[in-house]
Structure 1
Amino acid sequence: MAANILVVSCLILGSFAHQPQQFPGSNQQQPQQGGQAEQAQHAQPGQQQFGGEQARDEHHIKEHLDGKVDPTANMTPEQLQFHYFNMHDLDKNGKLDGVELIKAITHFHAENPGPQHTQNNANANHQPPPLPSEVELETMIDSILKDDDFNADGFIDYGEFLKAQKLREDQARSHQEQMQKAGGTQ
């Protein structure tokens, strides 16, 4: 008797195991194989199998991973610089123009408020700092192009970007060394 119950239980479990999984609120169908096509025809409208096209929808997956996965976690400093440059190259032509530079400046400005706009400041009303005026932005862009556009074509290409970054790093290092020497001689 126990053997019969065991055999019947295995048959029932086996039949459930071969049926496609259905999830409430879903309406997409998985590719069907063999006898599953007939079962899919009897599925209730508005139901979908787990995965399907959503499992291959890159945009949908990225939405759910936002803030959970850091794509830059294992990047080298050089890769991070390349990523930063490409992030601001909106038209993907390999060059930053004035509009893209303005976008980069305003993006940086919004994420790096001055001390008068930090949360530690009691007078701060948690508002982002005001953006630079048009005249200030124009002055900044002119300065960037004057200093970093080495071939004077009106754009900053990746090679110019790297060269300018290296020059700034060298200047900062030199300034820091001078400050340390000046501090040690007093």
Structure 2
Amino acid sequence: MRHRKISHLGIIVTFLILIAGRLMYAEDHSKFHDGNIVRNQDHIKEHLQEEVNINTTANMTKEELEFHYFEQHDLDNDTKLDGLEILAAISHMMPFEPKYPETKTAQQIRDEKIDFYAEQTEYILKENDYNNDGYLSYSEYALARRRAERGA
């Protein structure tokens, strides 16, 4: 059973890499660096309910909120975000809206959704993975957030 789960994960990762590789990079509309999203206390409370006192987010600094946001999306607790964790983060906070859905089949809309999220994930890694290891460390994430705040 474990082998089957690993196999499925490998297929998904390969599929996302193949799709992302053929896409052109888009503007960063992912909101991955949006301070209003990453410091959203309600969003963080939702994830931290079982871990900490819910009222503690009111007293957190913006850096602490950002750290908890990053930590929430590090699903395997390896202190870095891979493409799937980034994909989960952006799809959670940024719902996909197809262009002209009335003119498309359900399959075309699914394909457009996959392309959209794969493109956003690839763009985030391309722009923010400074050491090109295929992961986004917290320090890379924090640098990217500061750059986004400065409007660079």
TM category (shorter chain) comes to: 0.5 to 0.7
For structure 1, the residue ranges without an aligned partner over 5 or more in a row are 1-61, 115-129, 173-186
Look up the match of 2:92: 107
For the pair 1:70 / 2:50, whether they are aligned, the reply is no
- Secondary structure of residue in 2 paired with 1:73: helix
Cα deviation code 1:53-77 (max 9, x no counterpart) = xxxxxxxxx67xx9x9433111011
Q: Choose from 78, 85, 99 the match for 1:93.
A: 78
For the pair 1:169 / 2:152, whether they are aligned, the reply is no
Counterpart amino acid of 2:142?
L
Distance 2:134 2:114 in 1: 19
Q: Choose from 40, 43, 67 the match for 1:82.
A: 67
- Secondary structure of residue in 2 paired with 1:133: helix
Look up the match of 1:138: 118
- Secondary structure of residue in 2 paired with 1:92: coil
Counterpart amino acid of 2:149?
E
Deviation at 1:85, TM superposition (A): 0.3
Cα deviation code 1:125-157 (max 9, x no counterpart) = xxxxx9971111111111101100000000000
Aligned length: 91
Distance 1:162 1:147 in 2: 13
TM-score by length of 1: 0.44
For structure 2, the residue ranges without an aligned partner over 5 or more in a row are 1-48, 98-108
- Secondary structure of residue in 2 paired with 1:70: helix
Distance 1:163 1:75 in 2: 19
Cα deviation code 1:11-43 (max 9, x no counterpart) = xxxxxxxxxxxxxxxxxxxxxxxxxxxxxxxxx
Distance 1:71 1:96 in 2: 25
**RMSD over equivalenced CA pairs, Å:** 2.7
Greater helix proportion: 2
Counterpart amino acid of 1:154?
G
Q: Choose between structure 1 and 2 for higher RCO, CA contacts under 8 A separated by at least 6 residues.
A: 2
Q: Choose from 145, 150, 166 the match for 2:130.
A: 150
